[in-house]
Amino acid sequence: LWPTWATGVKRSDDTVPLLPVPRSGHARVRVTNIYRTWEPWFASIIPSDEAKGVLSAVVLDEPHSGTLAPRGGANNVCDVSKPYEDSVDLVVRASAVGEAPPSDEASLLLIRTEEDCWLYRIVPAAETEVGTG
């Protein structure tokens, strides 16, 4: 069960960056913790108001949640070869079902910590475009 803050959109401006996803490929987003505290995070794809009820043409690969280490990462005393990371790479992939909705009916990628919110508008990309990072 996710906390209530994990699904709320918290933005300081109206600018939502685009995340182009090729119809037969994927796009990558990196989220980095800038705070000095451990931050639980949650990610989900939500339909825009126009796309509610439309079968999504994209999927979010695992993981959908986790915990970011404090800024700079942290040592793992149990296994020094696996330090705790302050960032996570998320992959949004084109689904095998149907066509991607038009960009004005795009889904949104929402990534939340209690302190931060990242929001991306998922749009179809040309097959030659490369995922963002």
Would you write out the chain's pLDDT as a tens digit for each of its 133 residues? 788 888 887 766 678 899 998 888 899 999 999 999 999 999 999 876 655 555 567 889 999 999 999 999 999 999 999 999 999 999 999 876 555 444 445 688 999 999 999 999 888 876 544 454 4
The region that residue 53 occupies, defined by phi over 0 for left and psi between -120 and 50 for alpha, beta otherwise, is: left
What are residue 42's DSSP bridge partners? 65, 112
> Residue 126: its pLDDT value, please?
66
Q: Please give the Cα distance from 14 to 11 (Å, whole number).
A: 7
> Residue 43: its pLDDT value, please?
95
Max alpha carbon distance in the chain (Å)?
48
> Residue 89: its pLDDT value, please?
97
- Does a cis peptide bond (omega within 30 degrees of 0) precede residue 3? no
> Residue 11: its pLDDT value, please?
65
